[in-house]
Amino acid sequence: MLPSPKQGCVYPALGLIPTSYISHVPYDLSAASATTATSAMLSNTTTTTTTTASAATRQQKAKRRSSYDQPLDLRLAHKRKTDMGGSDTDTDKLDKETHRYQLFFGTLNDGGKRLQEALSLLDWSGGYKVSAIQERHHMIYKDLLNELPVRMDRELNTDMYYLSCEEAKKLQINCPNGYYFDKVRPEHAEMINNLWSARHPGSLRLIELLITKNTNVGLYEKDSGKLCAWCLRLQSGFLGALEVLKTHQRRGLGLVVAAAISRLIAQQLNQDVTALVNMNNISAGKIFQKLNFQLQQEEHYFWSMSLPKDSNAIKWPANE
């Protein structure tokens, strides 16, 4: 299945982020704070709905943001449909989104020829990082690459872990002594990118966008103010870039951060929480199992890097 509508968007619409979330004071993950934040979110939602009803306002917003910085929402209820003909039933709808050099696609069925035709219409000359490829679409994608001026550079298979919004709200957050929660800040982007196992040319800008646009949680030392552990939310809605500094590993900090961001998403956005974990990353899988995430036995997603045959990197400016 595709990420559910309740799983949430890639970049939350501007104006929907509660003020308590965007501040740089340490996170208050208490129930009282969640209630206040939720009320703020609902209030902001009403304001946003009224404001965006104006076509002129939408045009102004489009001018202010470049194509690769626009909010990208992969929820099924908000997708732009690409209809390649045939039946107009919901199960025949085909969706594809591009964000900078990244490609996301999916259908509510097996896709087949229609999916291959839709993907072939894209400009592949610069290559793509293709994320969250459903297992049932994997061979369609690989067969298509054989007909394109690109080559497979690397590919990973992942397991999907799922926690319902209701269960995520019940998670108990115990911040370790000597630490505090806060939002990850743009100044941390370079360090996070350097430690990210999936880093690549152009990924620094991606990390910057995820930090400024999406839900995230950082764990800081009280004495030094140093960021020691963090977790971001990727464009497809999945948790990602969960990391603990080597100097602070084996203290359970990864578990604490994963729990904190999961409950934050559930409390403030009222969405389910999902994570993709590389199949060989046993330690990360154990973290989500301890938090009662359910391993989706039949849900495997691939991510793939396709490069131009005459190049060793995606043809995309690193800072765009």
For residue 102 the two structure tokens come to 């990244």
Residue 317 lies in a domain: no
Residue 319 lies in a domain: no
- Cα torsion angle, 256, 261, 267, 268, sign: positive
**pLDDT at 52 (0 to 100):** 36
**How many CA within 13 A on the CB side of residue 215?**
30
| Domain extent at residue 111 | 1-312
Low-confidence ranges of the chain (pLDDT < 70): 1-93, 317-320
| Cα–Cα distance for residue pair 157/291, rounded to 1 Å | 22
Residue 318 lies in a domain: no
| Cα–Cα distance for residue pair 136/281, rounded to 1 Å | 22
- Cα torsion angle, 19, 24, 27, 28, sign: negative
| Cα–Cα distance for residue pair 100/141, rounded to 1 Å | 19
Residue 57's contacts (CB-CB under 8 Å, 6 or more residues apart) are: 51
- pLDDT digits over 213-272, tens only? 999 999 999 999 999 999 999 988 999 999 999 999 999 999 999 999 999 999 999 999
**Which residues on adjacent β-strands are paired with residue 219?**
181, 229
**pLDDT at 65 (0 to 100):** 32
Radius of gyration in angstroms for the set of CA atoms belonging to the chain, rounded to a whole number: 20
Tally the domains of the chain: 1
Q: What is the DSSP string of the chain?
A: -PPPGGG--SSPPTT-S-HHHHS-SPP--SHHHHHHHHHHHHHHHHHHHHHTT-HHHHHHHHHHS-TTTS-----GGGPPP---SS--SGGG-EEEEEETTEEEEEESS--HHHHHHHHHTS--TT-EEEEEEEHHHHHHHHHHHTTTTEEEEEEEEEEEEEE-HHHHHT----PPTTEEEE---GGGHHHHHHH-TT--TTHHHHHHHHHHHS--EEEEETTT--EEEEEEE-TTS-EEEEEE-GGG-SSSHHHHHHHHHHHHIIIII---EEEEEETT-HHHHHHHHHTTPEEEEEEEEEEEEEEETT-SS-SS-TT-
Contact between 33 and 20 under an 8 Å Cβ cutoff? The reply is yes
**pLDDT at 97 (0 to 100):** 84
Contact between 273 and 167 under an 8 Å Cβ cutoff? The reply is no
Q: Token pair 């992969």 is at which residue?
A: 74
**pLDDT at 319 (0 to 100):** 62
Q: How many beta carbons lie within 10 A of that of residue 42, not counting itself? A: 12
**pLDDT at 95 (0 to 100):** 76
| Cα–Cα distance for residue pair 202/223, rounded to 1 Å | 34
Q: Token pair 């626009």 is at which residue?
A: 70
| Cα–Cα distance for residue pair 121/136, rounded to 1 Å | 20
Residue 310's contacts (CB-CB under 8 Å, 6 or more residues apart) are: none
CATH at 98: 3.40.630.30
Per-position b or e across 270-297, b if 16+ CB within 10 A of its CB: bbbbbbbbeeeeeebbebbeebebeeee
Residue 320 lies in a domain: no
**pLDDT at 236 (0 to 100):** 87
Amino acid symbol at 29: L
Q: How far is CA 165 from CA 1, 14, 306, in A?
A: 17, 22, 34
**pLDDT at 62 (0 to 100):** 39
For residue 267 the two structure tokens come to 């409390």
